[in-house]
């Protein structure tokens, strides 16, 4: 009887800060995207492929979440993308306070889209709101088509799914129909984009969808 109130307190504190983050993003006119996936599904590759195809003038910034290291942040910086690295030091997910601490390093310089690469983990990140507008789940064909059945919480939390490494699907006997049925069991509406960051297949359609999400954001008040 003593544990449950503590858990509720932690979650509601995270949610309150997530709401603050969302307000900060709205005020900046920046679409926030929480990028979640298994380790190695291709989160970084998708962000880089997206950056290369965003309409001119749409300014992207990135927050990199990792247990350790700055490999992906270095890749972003090399591509000229403003980036902040968050190291969780063993923690299995980003939370709203971590994101809050990163926002002042990015938003003041003018950001239209903020992609937050969460820690590679198909379970825990789904339980912690960051204040983003879009929850993106990146699946990949080498992981197998059974992932939505085994990790339903993550796919239920998705606003959109990209299925990466489509170019090698045949190597892994990947069953697209079974994957889609699995997603639909827990998520009736999220668009599913079949893509390959390596070949570029399908990436334009994903970027068009993402750009449209930014276009329909409420406009921040003009400062004159």
- Residues in contact with its own copies by CB under 8 A are 38-40, 66-69, 71, 90, 92, 119-124, 140, 142-144, 146-147, 149-153, 165, 168, 171
Nearer to its own copies, 103 or 116 (CB): 116
Structure tokens, 90: 């063993």
For residue 151, the minimal CB distance to its own copies (Å) is 6
- Minimum gap (Å) between residue 218 Cβ and its own copies: 34
Q: Which is nearer to its own copies, 120 or 202 (CB)?
A: 120
In 3D space, the residue among 154, 167, 164, 168 whose CA is nearest the CA of residue 206 turns out to be: 164
CA 159 to chain centre: 10
Nearest to 44 by CA among 197, 219, 169: 197
Nearer to its own copies, 76 or 111 (CB): 76
Distance CA 187, CA 158 (A): 8
CA angle (130 as vertex; 127, 136 as ends), nearest 5: 75
Could you tell me the smallest distance in angstroms from the CB atom of residue 167 to its own copies? 9
CB 107 within 8 A of CB 82: no
Q: How far apart are CA 160 and CA 132, in angstroms?
A: 13
- Name which of 112 and 143 has its Cβ closer to its own copies: 143
Q: How far is the CB of 32 from its own copies (least distance, A)?
A: 23
Q: Give the shortest CB-58-to-its own copies separation in angstroms.
A: 28
Question: Pairing relation of β-strands 83-87 and 113-117?
Answer: unpaired
Give the separation between CA 4 and CA 162, rounded to whole angstroms: 35
- Residue 29 or 142: the one with the smaller Cβ distance to its own copies is 142
């Amino acid at each position: 009887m003593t544990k449950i109130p503590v858990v509720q307190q932690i979650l509601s504190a995270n949610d309150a800060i997530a709401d603050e983050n969302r307000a900060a993003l709205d005020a900046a006119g920046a679409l926030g995207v929480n990028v979640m996936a298994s380790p190695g599904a291709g989160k970084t590759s998708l962000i880089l492929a997206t950056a290369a195809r965003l309409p001119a003038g749409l300014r992207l910034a990135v927050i990199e979440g990792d247990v350790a290291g700055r490999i992906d942040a270095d890749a972003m910086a090399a591509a000229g993308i403003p980036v902040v690295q968050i190291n969780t030091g063993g923690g299995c997910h980003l939370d709203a306070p971590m994101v809050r601490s990163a926002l002042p390093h990015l938003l003041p310089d003018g950001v239209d889209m903020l992609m937050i690469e969460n820690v590679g983990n198909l379970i825990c990140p789904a339980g912690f709101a960051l204040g983003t507008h879009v929850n993106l789940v990146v699946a990949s064909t080498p992981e197998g088509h059974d992932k939505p059945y085994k990790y339903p919480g993550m796919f239920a939390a998705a606003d959109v799914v990209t299925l990466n490494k489509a170019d090698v699907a045949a190597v892994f006997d990947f069953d697209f129909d079974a994957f889609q049925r699995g997603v639909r069991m827990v998520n009736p509406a999220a668009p599913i984009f079949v893509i390959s960051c390596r070949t570029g297949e399908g990436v334009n359609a994903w970027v068009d969808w993402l750009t449209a999400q930014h276009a329909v954001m409420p406009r921040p008040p003009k400062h004159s």
